[in-house]
Amino acid sequence: MSKFKTIFAILLVNMMISAPSAAALNDSQVAQIIETADQFRLGEESARVISIVSLYKSDELEKMRQYNVYSRPNRESLVVFKSPVEAGQKMLMLQDNFWLQMPKSRRPIRITPMQKLLGEASVGDISSLTWSEDYQGEWVADETAKDINQLPYSAHLIELTAKTSSASYQRIELWIEQDTGFPIRADLYLRSGKLAKQAYFARGVRDDKLAVTAMTLLDAIQPTKKTVIKYMSIEPWQLEDKFYNPSFLARNNTAEL
Amino acid sequence: MRCATLLALSALVSLPAIAQDWQVDWDWALSASQRQLGDSEFIEPSRDSHSQLDGLLDVQVSYGQWNGLFALYSQNLYQNDPQGWLEHVDNQLIVRELAWQDSVTIAEQSIDVTLGKIRLDYGVSYGYRPLDMFKPYRQNPIGLSVEEGATVAALSLFDADGEWSVLYTNSHWSDNEVDNFDIANQQQGVGIRRYGLINLHEYQLIAYYDDVRHGALGASWVSIVNQSWEFHAEALWQHKSQQFTQPEQAFQPVNLRQAGEAWQGLAGFTYTTMNGHSFIGEYWFDSRAWSKQQWQQAQKRAQPLLQSPLTQPVANSYAQGLNHYNLVQHNIMLHWNWDTDSWLQWQTDDNWHWLSDFTPKLDLLISPQDGGIIATQWLTYQWIDTGDASVDLEFTARFLTGESDSAYAQINNRRTLLFMIKGKF
């Protein structure tokens, strides 16, 4: 199903680019472009995403984290923290409801959207792999955007505004390649309006298809900091419904998740 | 009980070092503490201070549907009075949890089963958790603390809105050292619990019958009202309770007795700011604790009794009032912690970046009726964190302050300073 969706979306994007280049895109065209970009990132409606996060300071690797994220439609996901220093920790997200389960504890903690935003930043960056559910998009301009290797691409600049209280960033400026709908880079803004990070998306192949295989985040406030998120595996995955039940959080061990 | 402990240890020792489906997570900690002791109306300690070094090695082992959590807890690796290294050490191997959890199909219905020793913590609060009702836990601990579960057999049915469970629990298996009050509260019983989620709100209802409380009803509610505010409440009513009762006659000691019905109720909130400051405020009432009048009476009676060696044990017996799960009936908890990383998100000045490894925390436990205050502050420094291993340093200070005739002033530990190094791998 998702394959057809991707092909359809790419066709649509191609049809759009055959239109006069400076023309503004309407809301439904923008929504379609964002969905296409999402497809390059997640590609599945219900999936298990294994991410390795490397945090650098002054280009030296400071620490690493592994997160296994089980996401499904309607903004529901279970994040399982796999690194030895966090092993056993879980975060459950059901729309704007959040629960945190600490290691070696049987007490799931209900947390507010603000507490979720204050948690380790990379959790927010790995836990949501789609923009279309959390943000409203608006076309700004067509211009040239450079990827992390300084290669230029003709791109749509789309401005995304958070439509949920728990979105990690209030505003995102997203450059999407006109030819393919592939995301090139993004500027991520906090609620204060301050630019927090600049994201660059790496082109790779997953299941013989073009896909985002990594994301590099340059910290705009603390320029010595850099985060590289590698998507080691994204595969269709259906967890039983009870795994998305807050009451189940305290009882399942994470060895097999 | 020792057999069970040895069995658990042998199971632990026989684990293969690396196997794909095993998950083994280690924690370790060393804690050095110095306690300043002071006289109370009930007890005059024989020394002014006490220092000790404690250690903890804790491992969680998961395999398939089995989960074990074991701790080696060594107290008094060093102590200053009488002084000695390893001479007075008290080693305890504690089976914190050892349980099997899986699902079975009964009449085409998937039922989740729990069998074994496990914690069932249904409380939703910070300062006191009335619904953690099956096994006592240390409230607001500083330093090392090892919690263990009750023996549990439970069946759970998860539906779209929550969970139904029926459960049997038995709290007699304790590897931690327990006092007479804990022994008197060791229970076994059966009950039913409903957990539900309605939009942004969660509730719990619990009905439980055991051989100590002879019937208990509990409930909780949690609501997130906007991005920053959370409100919670929980309450427990019990038909019978264990209480330390003050005697009719002045020369008789305080006794532990079965008393009538009792209840505990708590209401509180959490508020978090964009700059990383989190605040918790809670008020709770516990009818099992001594009232202000009872504390005043206890002090009035114990004061003259403490003067004579013959009546000193009677005066000492009043200190048992401090063993209740809450020292006073009316309690207020104010908590603050600061996520410095979040604050730094807003700072462009590089000079403050060292702050990101520090986390400060403060608790104020207040007894509003008699003016007692217990202030605890923590400062944690994240020294090493590679992802594979981490080491934190933590300094904690606890002061008992407020009115000199308050219930808290009857605690002999007036000030505790504690330095801890702890790690994970």
Query: Of B61, B194, B351, B424, which to mutate for an interface test with A (greatest number of A Cβ within 10 Å)?
Result: B424
Write down the ipTM of this complex: 0.89
Q: Is B23 exposed, middle or buried (0-12, 13-18, 19+ CB in 10 A)?
A: buried
Enumerate the residues of chain A whose CB falls inside 8 A of the CB of residue B158: 241-242, 245, 247-248
CA distance B196 to chain A (A): 9
Nearest to residue A69, comparing CAs of A204, A212, A243?
A: A243
Q: Residue written as tokens 């879980």? A: A90
Q: What is the pTM (predicted TM-score) of this model? A: 0.89
Q: Residue written as tokens 């964009």? A: B274
| A85/B385 CB distance under 8 A | yes
Pick from B197, B353, B385: CB nearest A222: B353
Work out how many domains chain A is built from and give that number.
1
| B387/A106 CB distance under 8 A | no
Q: Could you say which residues from 96 to 125 on chain A have a Cβ atom under 8 Å away from some Cβ of chain B? A: 96-97, 103-107, 110-115, 117-118, 120-121
What is chain B's pLDDT, residue by residue, as a tens digit (425 residues)? 444 444 444 444 343 334 457 889 999 999 999 999 998 889 988 889 999 999 999 999 999 899 999 999 999 999 998 888 988 899 999 999 999 999 999 888 999 999 999 999 999 999 999 999 999 888 889 999 999 999 999 999 999 999 999 999 999 999 998 899 999 999 999 999 999 999 889 999 999 999 999 999 999 999 999 989 999 999 999 999 999 999 988 789 999 999 999 999 999 999 999 889 999 999 999 999 999 999 999 999 998 998 888 899 999 999 999 999 999 999 999 999 999 988 887 777 778 878 889 999 999 999 999 999 999 999 999 999 999 999 999 999 999 999 999 999 999 999 999 999 999 99
Enumerate the residues of chain A whose CB falls inside 8 A of the CB of residue B350: 222
Domain of A69, in residue numbers:
1-249
Instruction: Report yes or no on A254 lying in a domain.
Output: no
Q: What is the pLDDT of residue A22?
A: 54
Residue A204: which CATH number?
2.50.20.10
Instruction: Report yes or no on A255 lying in a domain.
Output: no
**Of residues B60 and A165, which shows the higher confidence score?**
B60
Pick from A115, A221, A247: CB nearest B278: A115
Instruction: Report yes or no on A203 lying in a domain.
Output: yes
Enumerate the residues of chain A whose CB falls inside 8 A of the CB of residue B389: 84-85
Residue A249 touches chain B, beta carbons under 8 Å: no
CA distance A107 to chain B (A): 6
Domain of B6, in residue numbers:
2-13+23-424
- Across the A:B interface, residue pairs with CB atoms under 8 Å apart total 145
What DSSP line would sit under A201-241, residue for residue? EEEEEETTEEEEEEEEEEESSSTTEEEEEEEEEEEE----G
| A222/B229 CB distance under 8 A | no
Residue B284: which CATH number?
2.40.160
CA distance A178 to chain B (A): 33
| B200/A97 CB distance under 8 A | yes
- Give φ, ψ of B67 to 5 degrees: -140, 125
Instruction: Report yes or no on B18 lying in a domain.
Output: no
- CA nearest to B23 within chain A: A255
Q: Is B87 exposed, middle or buried (0-12, 13-18, 19+ CB in 10 A)?
A: exposed
Give the list of residues 6+ apart from residue B283 with CB closer than 8 angstroms, or none. Answer: B266, B267, B268, B330, B331, B332, B333
Enumerate the residues of chain A whose CB falls inside 8 A of the CB of residue B118: 106
| B58/A254 CB distance under 8 A | no
Nearest to residue B348, comparing CAs of A191, A226, A194, A188?
A: A194
Q: In the structure encoding, which two tokens stand for residue A245, read together?
A: 């039940």
Q: What span, in angstroms and rounded, lies between the C-alpha atoms of A224 and A55?
A: 11
Q: Could you report the per-residue pLDDT of A178-217, keeping only the tens digit for each?
A: 999 999 999 999 887 889 899 999 999 998 999 999 999 9
Work out how many domains chain B is built from and give that number.
1
Residue A221 touches chain B, beta carbons under 8 Å: yes
Q: Could you report the per-residue pLDDT of A217-233, keeping only the tens digit for each?
A: 998 888 888 999 999 99
CA distance B3 to chain A (A): 24
Beta strands in B248-402 (DSSP E): 255-259, 262-272, 277-286, 330-338, 358-367, 372-385, 390-402
Enumerate the residues of chain B whose CB falls inside 8 A of the CB of residue A88: 25, 60
Enumerate the residues of chain A whose CB falls inside 8 A of the CB of residue B424: 84-85
Q: What span, in angstroms and rounded, lies between the C-alpha atoms of B253 and B246?
A: 7
Pick from A118, A194, A253: CB nearest B342: A118
| β partners of residue B59 | B26, B70
Instruction: Report yes or no on A130 lying in a domain.
Output: yes
Instruction: Report yes or no on A257 lying in a domain.
Output: no
Enumerate the residues of chain A whose CB falls inside 8 A of the CB of residue B387: 63-66, 83-85
